[in-house]
Amino acid sequence: MGAWQLLMVGLVMLLGLLGVLVPGVPGPWLIWAAMLWWSLHEQSGLAWALLVGSTVVLLVTQVVVWLLPPRRLRGVGVTRRMAMFAGAGALVGFFLVPVVGGILGFIGGIYGSERQRLGGHGPAMTSTRAVMRAVGTSVLVELFACLLVAGAWLGAVLSG
């Protein structure tokens, strides 16, 4: 597989990660489609194992999200800026503290956004809890699963 094709797969995965944060965009399915494309072109044992593993992870994630309470965006104060902070925090955290850091970074990004907006620790913590109850858990589950799949793909590509 050529370098430009790997770049395109990586860009689709990045779009999928961003799509998790934007309501209505099928982020997990973009990630899966990129993994399918890569696996079909790579055709190695590792590629097929990653495709099967990512399929299982993303399907289980969809079931878990379906079982969680529905997202209630109205009245909570979720903004695009907060979503950007949360997504950036999850991405940075995922690579700084492998895997677990994604969760911490996501919540930390929400807290940082709210701390900046509200000015104090107490109101920011209250708002962060409200956001996590309303939408954060389902978004976090999807984002975490997509980060796992994208991280596994990146690890496979970098290992050769």
User: How do residues 68-112 score in pLDDT, each as one tens digit?
Assistant: 777 665 667 778 888 889 889 988 988 888 878 888 998 999 999
Please report the pLDDT score of residue 71 as a whole number.
65
Question: CA 16, 93, 10: angle at the middle one, nearest 5?
Answer: 30
Q: In whole angstroms, what is the distance from residue 105 CA to residue 136 CA? A: 12
Confidence of residue 7 (pLDDT cuts 50, 70, 90): very high
For residue 60, the number of C-alpha atoms closer than 13 Å in the C-beta half-sphere is: 11
The count of C-alpha atoms lying within 13 angstroms of the C-alpha of 141, restricted to the half-sphere facing its C-beta, is: 19
Print burial letters for 4-31: b (CB count within 10 Å at least 16), e (below 16). eebeebbebbeebbbbbbeeeeebbebb
3 state DSSP class of 44 = coil
The span from the CA of 107 to the CA of 112, in Å, is 9
Q: Would you say residue 38 has pLDDT above 90?
A: yes
The answer, yes or no, to whether residue 2 has pLDDT greater than 80, is yes
Least confident of 13-22, 31-40, 69-78: 69-78
Specify which of 8-17, 19-28, 76-85 reaches the highest per-range mean pLDDT: 8-17
Average pLDDT over residues 125-133: 87
Mean pLDDT of 62-72: 81
Distance from C-alpha of 111 to C-alpha of 126, rounded to nearest angstrom: 9
Instruction: Give the least confident one: 75-79, 112-116, 154-158.
Output: 75-79
